[in-house]
Amino acid sequence: MRAEYLIDRPAETICNNLRIILYLSYLRGDHLIVISDLETRTAEKWIQRWSRVSCFQSISRRAANPGCRRKFSTYRRAVSTSLQTSRRIYSSTHARNRGAGHDSRSSKSQWLLRTSQYGFADLKAGVKVGPQTLFEIGSISKSFVAIAILSLADEGKIDLHRPVIEYLPWLKVESKYAPFTTHHLLTHTAGLSAVPLLMRVVTTTLRTGSEPGSRFLYSNIGYVLLGFLLEAIDRRSFPEVLHKRVLEPLGMTASAPVITNAIKERLAIGYGPLHEDRPFPLRGKLAEAPWLEVPEAAGSVAATAADMVAYLQLLLNRGAGPRGRLISEKSFQLLVKPVVKAPFRGEDASYGYGLWINDGSNRTLVRHTGGMVAFSSAMYADLTDGFAAFASVNANLRGYRPVAVTRYALDLLNAASRNQELPALPASPPTPDSIKNAADYAGTFNAPDGKKLVLIAHGDKLILQHGRQRIVLEQAGRDRFIVKHPDYDLFTLGFGRDKDVVVEAFHGPDWWANERYSGPKFFEYPKEWDTLTGRYRSDSPWYGSSRLFVRKGRLILDDQQFLIPLEPGVFRPQGDINAAELITFDTLVNGKAMHLNFSGIDFYRTSTP
């Protein structure tokens, strides 16, 4: 369920005869399907090596001189190493499920060298992937939007520092700060909410929680607004603008600017957890994810393998496409200019226009990830050395993005291009049931009503004694664990510390303390909160359901988010969170609130637990 692509920039090829190196790996069950390498005969050897692979194609051009062949050998070793890593990362992170598929193409400068297809677009129907099969690339679409905006700026049709409301006079914004600009929307510094994505939210009154430009607050609704801005200035629909200004000039004719029912048959089937309303364990069951159209500019593009190669080439060639420049060199510099500090999945980075950027040590690295209801993607491009990598998984795996695969692939190719020793394989992550500090949590915890929670440490295993059963726990974060038992599957089992010593445990509304706990054991709270607690569901697959409960006198949303009361029925999330976020409850029926609104997204009470 994964495809990866590595290409090198035509302007800086290692060998004159080779313009693009494209590599694709795919994990089907516990077998690896590989499309890669530099010679057809080498590909045949790969087929023999993976004898149970259902389909396999590969092509490239033979080197014209011995020196180039030696370089090819280095790349072959880099690709082979990356494939091992891909398999290790995937198999240690996800369940072994039958895979869907993808397609790829390798081209040289102005012409196509080979097209490869494999796997299935629809597992139930057994429909194989073809050259036109689409994958949803998620928020990688944001850089497409940024390029379209910059092309308008090149034509003098938009001022990036003019208030957006002057272009969209219908827009309603509640704010005590200066108006935000297109520049602020592009860099996620407008101060808008991080919660809403749906297009319908822009017709409501939006709120800002900080001075524009003062801090990075990732906001999908900001890019949804950019879609409306493109329509207003270019006087065409958003899909047409993106098609004419980005996809068509790049020759991305097989891709779609928005995800609609019209392209549903061409999309790979996406998958997600069988139960979307609870923690997802390692090797948890997957099912077909709900289908939905995605017209929102924050993540609307569906692309084929070949078309993603064309897009990566655009980045590596600094805004130049096969038919000329899409944006000027000046605009490309704006696209990749670090504007605001914004860590990228634990790495030091900044954000520019639709891209995370590292610009230091004489090297410019840009990247982005994309998460959809049923797809997860990652893109890396090294603008200095001229390599790029893209990976996509047709599944939503609860926060997973194939970042480790794309990052390591880039490191391998950069080392190969310099004739350096290839970097070692990353160490396999520990299995989630391997808990080095299991002894921290061992002991008996008591609830105020007398119920007990008993945990046992056995080596690096943490075990819950539940009746006559012993259940091995899986780590789900710092001091949080998944318990594979129906009595515990709705929430993680968490622990609290005092001076770094574990003193309490909690699971949903339930709470226990051990002998080291010295705080209060009974807690008061406003009884009107009982009218709010329960489960609420959104009509959008983007949001699913949320559970609200009281624990230790605090109102808690989705197991970890504490709510701060502002006035009756109105709350804000606790912590260093955008002040624009607001949670409201209304419509009481039989003593229970029936409606929850979280920063513009509606949830309605459901009777299921």
Query: Residue 28: what pLDDT?
Result: 27
Cα torsion for 105, 108, 114, 117, to the nearest 10°?
Answer: -10
C-alpha dist (Å) from residue 532 to 545, 555, 597:
15, 9, 12
128, burial (CB in 10 Å: exposed 0-12, middle 13-18, buried 19+): middle
pLDDT mean over 202-229: 96
* Tally of CB atoms within 10 A around 109: 10
Query: Residue 277: what pLDDT?
Result: 92
Query: Residue 330: what pLDDT?
Result: 97
Query: Residue 543: what pLDDT?
Result: 94
Query: Residue 77: what pLDDT?
Result: 54
Which pair of tokens denotes residue 248?
């068509």
Q: Quick check: 111 pLDDT over 60?
A: no
Which pair of tokens denotes residue 214?
């003062």
Q: Token pair 């129906």 is at which residue?
A: 486
Q: Token pair 């704006």 is at which residue?
A: 334
Question: Which residues touch 580 (CB under 8 Å, ≥6 apart)?
Answer: 191, 192, 193, 206, 207, 208, 209, 210, 599
Per-residue pLDDT reduced to its tens digit, 581-590: 999 999 999 9
Higher pLDDT, 203 or 34: 203
Three-state DSSP string of 452-469: EEEEEEECCEEEEEECCE
- Minimum mean pLDDT range among 104-118, 181-195, 311-325: 104-118
Q: Quick check: 608 pLDDT over 90?
A: no
Query: Residue 120: what pLDDT?
Result: 61
Fold of 138-259+294-374: Beta-lactamase (3.40.710)
Q: Quick check: 507 pLDDT over 50?
A: yes
Q: Is 366 helix (H, G, I), strand (E, B) or coil?
A: strand
Using pLDDT thresholds of 50, 70 and 90, give the confidence band for residue 44. very low
Give the residue ranges of DSSP H helices in 182-247.
Answer: 182-186, 220-234, 238-242
CB 182 within 8 A of CB 229: yes
Using pLDDT thresholds of 50, 70 and 90, give the confidence band for residue 495. very high
Percent of the chain beyond pLDDT 90? 63
Return the closest-CA partner of residue 375 out of 286, 470, 441. Answer: 286
User: Mean pLDDT over all residues of the chain?
Assistant: 82
Residues 581 and 305: their CA atoms lie apart, in Å, by: 38
Domain ranges of the chain: 1-136+402-429, 138-259+294-374, 438-513, 527-606
Q: How do 206-207 and 173-174 pair as beta strands?
A: parallel
Per-residue pLDDT reduced to its tens digit, 84-97: 555 445 444 443 34
pLDDT mean over 309-333: 94
Q: Would you give the distance in Å from CA 455 to the centre of its chain?
A: 34
- Minimum mean pLDDT range among 88-97, 347-356, 471-480: 88-97
418, burial (CB in 10 Å: exposed 0-12, middle 13-18, buried 19+): exposed
Query: Residue 347: what pLDDT?
Result: 85
CB 477 within 8 A of CB 279: no
Residues 375 and 397: their CA atoms lie apart, in Å, by: 8
Residues 452 and 429: their CA atoms lie apart, in Å, by: 33
Residues 272 and 374: their CA atoms lie apart, in Å, by: 6
pLDDT mean over 129-157: 93
Return the closest-CA partner of residue 367 out of 323, 401, 333. Answer: 401
pLDDT mean over 346-358: 94
Triad 500, 501, 504: Cα angle to 5°: 115
Q: Which long-range contacts (CB under 8 A, 24 or more apart) does 325-332 make?
A: 326/147, 326/151, 326/245, 326/246, 326/249, 326/250, 327/147, 327/150, 327/151, 327/154, 328/154, 330/154, 331/150, 331/151, 331/153, 331/154, 332/150
pLDDT mean over 484-496: 96
pLDDT mean over 190-205: 95
Strands (E) located in 258-332: 271-273, 286-288, 302-303, 320-321, 324-325
Q: Quick check: 80 pLDDT over 90?
A: no
- Minimum mean pLDDT range among 47-61, 91-105, 210-224, 487-501: 47-61
What DSSP assignment string belongs to 64-118?
Answer: SSHHHHHHHHHHHHHHHHHHHHHHHHHHHHS------EEEEEEEETTEEEEEEEE
CB 131 within 8 A of CB 115: yes
Backbone angles phi, psi at 224, to 5 degrees: -60, -40
* Tally of CB atoms within 10 A around 204: 12
Higher pLDDT, 334 or 111: 334
Q: How do 554-557 and 510-513 pair as beta strands?
A: unpaired
Does the pTM surpass 0.75? The reply is yes
Per-residue pLDDT reduced to its tens digit, 61-79: 223 333 434 444 554 555 5
Residues 121 and 103: their CA atoms lie apart, in Å, by: 10
Residues 543 and 518: their CA atoms lie apart, in Å, by: 38
* Tally of CB atoms within 10 A around 72: 23
Q: One-letter amino acid identity for 456?
A: I
Higher pLDDT, 280 or 123: 280
Query: Residue 47: what pLDDT?
Result: 29
Percent of the chain beyond pLDDT 70? 79
Using pLDDT thresholds of 50, 70 and 90, give the confidence band for residue 458. very high
* Tally of CB atoms within 10 A around 398: 15
Query: Residue 476: what pLDDT?
Result: 93
- Minimum mean pLDDT range among 44-58, 415-429, 504-518: 44-58
C-alpha dist (Å) from residue 192 to 141, 177, 309, 351, 382:
19, 11, 33, 16, 31
Classify residue 604 by its DSSP letter. E
Query: Residue 164: what pLDDT?
Result: 98
Q: Does domain 527-606 have CATH number 2.40.128.50?
A: yes
Q: Quick check: 501 pLDDT over 70?
A: yes
pLDDT mean over 515-540: 96
Return the closest-CA partner of residue 22 out of 12, 9, 41. Answer: 9
Q: Quick check: 487 pLDDT over 90?
A: yes
